Structure 1
Amino acid sequence: MSAIDVRPIASVPIEPWRNGGGITKTLATGNSQWRISLAEIERDGPYSRFEGISRTSLVLRGGGVTLRNDNAVVQLKPFEAIEYDGDAAWKASLIEGPVTALNVMSARGRYRTQVRAIMDSMIVRPNCAAVVIALDSRCTFSEPGTHLAGNVEPGQVLVINDVTRPLRLAPTIAVAATRERMKLAVLVTIEPSSIRIND
């Protein structure tokens, strides 16, 4: 049986940014090789650089963020997971005010990460870490063949550092329109790059 931790996001300690541009809550980490966090970006400013790190960001609330450096521009749009280089010197510009962003960082080339909305019933395969973030929604979880089952309520996060048995996740509301995706729970999975998971 997988060890599942469900707790309020509000209970996660706040980590102020060094430049004063926002705050971060670390939801899960793996041996300094990967980190999943929730950031409140409050104003324009530089992003911290992380050598050898791949980053994926998903804007959960707000209009989005534009990242620029001398060589590239990356648009972080609402509810669209975007991967980019964590080692670059990015300057962030907010679109229509502050945003809440889910950030996934992992050692480049060592892990495969996936960030997606829980729109339908799905199975998370073993041999990965899994985190479910439910800001404005609810989803169910269960391990088929066991008595383990429960809900991730609005404002909660579910963390499994090592999925040992198949885990079923399902939204509790139907998705009637694209705009309602912003209300869905989000699943993050992190797996060693040598392991392949078939959905």
Structure 2
Amino acid sequence: MPAIEVRSIAALPVERWRNGGGVTRTIASDASGESQWRISLAEVERNGPYSRFEGIDRISLVLRGAGVTLRDERSTVQLRPFEAAGYDGDAQWNATLVDGPVTVLNAMTSRGRYRARIRNILEPLTVQSGCLVAVVALHGGCAWSDAEGAVSGAIEAGQFLITNSLDRAIRFSPTAPAINHTVNESVSPQLPVLVTIESASTHE
């Protein structure tokens, strides 16, 4: 099985945006050099334009802060705390912070070649083999294991997990106390977040 690596979020190199509006930390990216996919954490510090990425689908989820409103000439996208939102990387988005700076988890994939999904780990969930997996535990930890118990481990708040391609199903569970997440209740900000990226051909 490909290695499951656990690293510190704080140890990731910081890349400042060219427009000065924030900084980015790259969690993982396409090793081929073709920029087919990328997972990153962005600190959005002020209102201003988002970078444009032609041919790229984007998904974002606010991990810290009240949210961001993205607008272009034709549409509006609301990035809310712990709610994944997809949008077009081709558009000329301008960002307005809802109530101060935010930390945003981003997944970008080449349209038609890869697909990404971002989910809160509210309760134990299983990821099937064949996809890249990242778990970001900005606030709350996460444990994992396979069905046989041959591999297992945990990450703590302030860490992230990355593995390039699962060759078996892995079960992920939040290590914070269970919460009641009925309809219309806000999601606990202590939750780890799962990102999966897989080939678009998997769904064909």
TM-score by length of 2: 0.92
Deviation at 1:111, TM superposition (A): 1.4
**Count of aligned residue pairs for this structure pair:** 196
Q: Identity over aligned residues, as a percent?
A: 54
Equivalences for residues 176-195 of structure 1 within 5 A: 176-177=180-181, 178-195=185-202
Please say if residues 82 and 187 of structure 2, whose CA atoms lie closer than 8 Å, have aligned partners that are also in contact.
no
Corresponding residue for 1:174?
178
Tell me which amino acid in the other structure corresponds to 1:124.
Answer: V
Query: Structure 1 residue aligned with 2:82, among 72, 79, 84?
Result: 79
For residue 146 of structure 1, report the CA deviation from its aligned partner: 4.5
Superposed CA deviations along residues 118-155 of structure 1, whole A, max 9, x for unmatched, are 11111111110000000110110112224321111000
CA contact (8 A) 2:132 2:164 kept: yes
Distance 2:75 2:149 in 1: 49
Give the residue type in structure 2 aligned to 1:155: G
Residue equivalent to 1:5: 5
SS in 2 for 1:194: helix
Counterparts of 1:119 and 1:63 in 2: how far apart (Å)?
20
Mapped pair 1:57 → 2:68:
no
Q: Which position in structure 1 is the counterpart of 2:113?
A: 110
Shift of 1:180: 4.6
Where does structure 1 lack aligned partners over 5 or more consecutive residues? none
Find the counterpart in structure 2 of residue 38 from structure 1.
41
CA-atom RMSD, angstroms?
Answer: 1.2
| Structure 1, 168-177 or 43-52: larger mean CA deviation | 168-177
Q: Distance in 1 between matches of 2:19 and 2:194?
A: 29
Q: Deviations over 1:31-86 (max 9, x none)?
A: 32100000000000100000100000101111111111111111111111010000
Correspondence 1:155 to 2:162: no
CA contact (8 A) 2:41 2:104 kept: yes
Q: Following the alignment from structure 1 to structure 2, what is the Cα–Cα distance between the partners of residues 167 and 148?
A: 9
Contact persistence 1:2–1:165 (CA under 8 A) = no
